[in-house]
Structure 1
Amino acid sequence: MCGRFVLNASPEEIADYLDLIGLEDFPGRFNIAPTQPILIVVEGTKPEPGSNLPNRQAMLVRWGFMPGWVKDPKEFPLLINARSETAIGKASFRAAMRHRRILIPATGFYEWRRPPKDEGGKPQAYYIKPKNGGIVAFAGLMETWSSADGSEVDTGAILTTSANRSIARIHDRMPVVISPEDFTRWLDCKTQEPREVIDLMKAADEDFFEMIPVSDKVNKVANTGADLIEPVAQRLEPAAKVVKKDDGQMSLF
């Protein structure tokens, strides 16, 4: 699951990392939420032979995937994530996996550790970012939805996978991260079929991300300041329970 993320790098840093045609200036965003516009990257037209110009292009889409065959958006669920394990065969994402794979730049994302129901308490929010800082590129899918009146809306979703052991301490899913050396293969929908990029849809290495406890201000979409990613004191984990075994020995579990 990925329901909020951050992109606070400069346009120049994003363009350099993703080898993009120049980007217009824009402010950092610290609480990007579903239905809002998100920056995505698509493979552009093939450059002229011998040209050193980048051919990847950036555009804005609505975060919330809408398959082209949907008749009434009000009756269709908001698809902000797509499970990488099933996206190839799922009706909603099958065409996009074959024809419209994208990259979604981010500098981090949020996740919540929810305590067991019998323990009570509030979920703890975490800001999850690369340990070395910088930008990451989430794997994503894009679809253009056309209404009956002819208007069009470009939409997108983030692909997720089973969390690595580090992230699994707070949540069982995480975004798929595409490494720079794999950008071209992921975006190449002309020669690379979905089954040929399955190996890219995997969890990041154990030590790639760090998890920083942050305040619950991120829960409100109206909060958008840089203070959202400032560390806070982590809520204490519940103490281990002590039980007696039949042999009278004490045990922790």
Structure 2
Amino acid sequence: MCGRMAITLPHQAMTEVFEATASNDLPDVPNYNVCPTVQVHAVTSAEGTRRLRSMRWGFVPHWYDTPTDGPLIINARSETVAKKPAFREAVRARRCLIVASGFYEWKREKGETPQPWYVTRVDGGPMVFAGIWQDWARGETALTGCAVVTCEANADMAPIHDRLPVILDPADWPLWLGEAGHGAAPLMRPAGKGTLSFRRVSTAVNSNRAQGPDLIAQVASGD
């Protein structure tokens, strides 16, 4: 799964990387502890134009009467995303790129405090997740929410966790955004071996209130 991330890339750099026009309500950067329900950076495409947008990290199905009317949905499993009523229309028609610098995952051992790891790309590029999004409104309350599509872990991730966000390479972006056709299902696969870099980080990030660059600094095992 993916339950926490960091984003340090400046807005101008994001617009250049994705060749996108930026909305004027983007979340502040850097943010070293991006948590569910906050606004994240997402790229959508329509009529040949890409937009860098702000979306709530938390997909709200259209039948919810309030955003908290059911479980908080921050991830969608690739194996079932095209079948579940909450997601099947979005994965056909409303796909997005969710932008991060890296994400956190926790290794859980019985009887021990979960140990956080920070995961980035080996090549230093932005971490771009396959996402789906949806507008939701009731009365005067309206929001646009998104979820990260996840898949089974690759061999590198498996010792830490059994799930992994679907991570898209630049060549994949046009297909996921619907610019290069509609057959995006083959993209919902684990990242190739050697794509990701892992480092142990401080348990300070276990608090969703923690902030600052120290959160992504490597620490020795056991710290």
TM bracket, shorter-chain basis: over 0.9
Please give the residue correspondences for 1:72-151 in structure 2 after superposition, counting only pairs within 5 Å.
Answer: 72-115=66-109, 117=110, 120-147=111-138, 149-151=139-141
- 1:49-64 aligned at under 5 Å gives the runs 55-64=49-58
User: Structure 2 counterpart of 1:205, which letter?
Assistant: G
| Cα distance in 2, alignment partners of residues 189 and 180 from structure 1 | 13
RMSD in angstroms over aligned alpha carbons? 1.8
C-alpha distance in 2 between matches for 1:163 and 1:89 = 21
Query: What SS does the corresponding residue of 2:91 show, helix, strand or coil?
Result: helix
| Residue 220 of structure 2 corresponds to residue 233 of structure 1 | yes
- Aligned residue number for residue 150 of structure 2: 160
CA spacing shift, 1:69–1:75, aligned 2, 3 Å:
closer
Q: What is residue 239 of structure 1 aligned with on the other side? A: none
Q: 1:81-114 CA deviation, whole Å, 9 max, x = no partner? A: 0001100001110111111000011110000100
Residues 170-181 of structure 1 aligned to structure 2 (within 5 Å): 170-181=160-171
- Tell whether the 8 Å contact from 1:124 to 1:234 is kept in structure 2 after alignment: no
Aligned equivalent of 2:44, options 25, 42, 45 = 42
Find the aligned partners of 1:23 and 1:16 in 2 and give their Cα distance.
14
- 1:212 corresponds in structure 2 to 199
The CA distance in 2 between the partners of 1:168 and 1:231, in whole Å, is 20
State the match for 1:14 in structure 2.
Answer: 14
1:36 offset after TM fit, Å? 0.4
TM-score under structure 1 length normalisation? 0.83
Q: CA deviation at 1:73?
A: 3.3
Which among 42, 46, 67 is matched to residue 61 of structure 2? 67
User: For residues 75 and 163 of structure 1, do their structure 2 counterparts lie closer, same or farther at Cα, with a shift above 3 Å needed?
Assistant: same
**Is the partner of 1:128 in helix, strand or coil?**
strand
**Do 1:100 and 1:189's aligned partners in 2 also have CA atoms closer than 8 Å?**
no
Secondary structure, in 3 states, of the residue corresponding to 2:6? Answer: strand
Give CA deviations for 1:144-181 in whole Å, capped at 9, x if unaligned: 1111x143111010000000011000000010011111
Residues 6 and 31 in structure 1, CA contact (< 8 A), matched pair in contact too: yes
Match of 1:223 in 2: 210
With over 3 angstroms needed to count, the CA separation of the structure-2 counterparts of 1:74 and 1:155, relative to structure 1, is same
Q: CA deviation at 1:235?
A: 2.8
Please give the alpha-carbon distance, in whole angstroms, between the structure 2 residues aligned to 1:163 and 1:204.
8
For residues 207 and 191 of structure 1, do their structure 2 counterparts lie closer, same or farther at Cα, with a shift above 3 Å needed?
closer
Q: 1:99 to 1:150 in 2, by over 3 A?
A: farther
C-alpha distance in 1, partners of 2:33/2:201?
12
Distance 1:198 1:59, change over 3 A: same
Q: Over alpha carbons, which structure has the higher Rg?
A: 1
CA contact (8 A) 1:88 1:97 kept: yes
**How many pairs are equivalent?**
221
Task: Say whether residues 1:33 and 2:59 are aligned partners.
Answer: no
Distance 1:155 1:203 in 2: 24
What are structure 1's unaligned runs of at least 5 residues? 47-54, 237-253
